[in-house]
Amino acid sequence: MSGRRPHHPHRLYRASRTPLPQVLPRSFTAAAVAATVLLLTATGCSSGSSSPSSARSHHGSAERTGDAVTEATAASPFWVDPASDAARQVEQWEKEGRKDDAKALKRISERAVAEWPAWDDPEPDISRAVRGAAAGRRTVVFVAYNIPHRDCGLYSAGGAHDAQAYREWINAFAGAIGDAPAIVILEPDAVPHLADGCTPAEHHDERYELLSQAIARLKKQPGTRVYLDAGNPDWISDPAKLAEPLRRAGVKTADGFSLNVSNFQTNNAAKSYGTQLSGLLGDAHFTIDTSRNGQGPLPGDRDEAWCNPPGRALGTPPTTNTGNELVDAFLWIKRPGESDGPCRGGPAAGKWWPDYALGLARKTKG
């Protein structure tokens, strides 16, 4: 199957806690699809729609707010969740005497990662993050990922029930942000799937309309910047094929586009690709997901490179100091340490995997 990409950092469904199945990679073969279906069946994963939740049960009612005041966050304008999986793992390992492992994992716990609000009701997750960020006057990074007919009906199938439901969800999403400073990465995959033909043609016009309306609604919030997702350099190799779909989706009324969400492409590859695409869009600015690209993609078979690839490393920490006038920020959109799926000994997609997180941290230089 062409045009696929690695798993997004999905969370667990608020009510059923059913893990969301992984997104398949680009160039996924029919044989690999069949094998993955068997694997998912064996491990009890559902291929239906579910909803992530950053307000997991361990947060409870005793909400922790504010910033992790560390050297790592001092140079970053973005909010660090003090109750993240990584932060709790550090605390646990310190209690167990695993001091070296805890120290290494702080490379994740002390840095800002994106929040992926729930698909049933985004308001609680967003409000929690906004309140937490207010104390330190930080910016929260959110991902809106609920477009109807999401993922072409494959393993992250679902999204809002229909166009009106999506409009209501985006309205609630934007309203919960209020006047707070925020960045929204809008609908990973949605435009690239229009460009590569994966999304059925009968849904194209509706998707373009919904994306344009979503940008307009989010931009009504005075402190919100919006970046429309544009895939990665290893997906649609010719950026010219994305230019018109991005224009139709309203990128000119957004603050730009996003690249490399959940992928492993290097900064240089993303910047080169983004610069080409920017030139086709009137010098539009862009962001790059650097959460796991410190070693670039796994060499060799791309069908093996998308799901919990070994030997990867954290990339450039989140910052607006990119050294490139077109690149507004390096962001950690994929949440490092959350599994891509039940491959290479990993847990279900979206579940915290401390061993993999530690591997990312230990491979990271500096």
> Could you report the per-residue pLDDT of 181-233, keeping only the tens digit for each?
999 999 999 999 999 999 999 999 999 999 999 999 999 999 999 999 999 99
- The highest-confidence range among 24-38, 173-187, 341-355, by mean pLDDT, is 173-187
Q: Which strand (E) or helix (H) includes residue 327?
A: strand 327-331
- Distance (Å, whole) CA 336 – CA 332: 8
For residues 93 and 86, the answer to whether their CB atoms sit within 8 Å is no
Residue with tokens 């679902």: 158
**Active site members:** 151, 189, 340
The pLDDT tens digits of the residues spanning 83-121 come to: 999 999 999 999 999 999 999 999 999 999 999 999 999
Sheet order of strands, 286-289 included: 140-144, 182-186, 224-229, 256-259, 286-289, 327-331
Question: First CA to last CA across the chain, in angstroms?
Answer: 38
Q: What is the helix (H) or strand (E) element at residue 248, kind and residue range?
A: helix 240-248
Give the whole-angstrom CA distance, residue 109 versus residue 70: 11
Q: Which domains does the chain have, with CATH numbers?
A: 30-363 (3.20.20.40)
pLDDT, average across residues 288-310:
90
pTM for the whole structure: 0.82
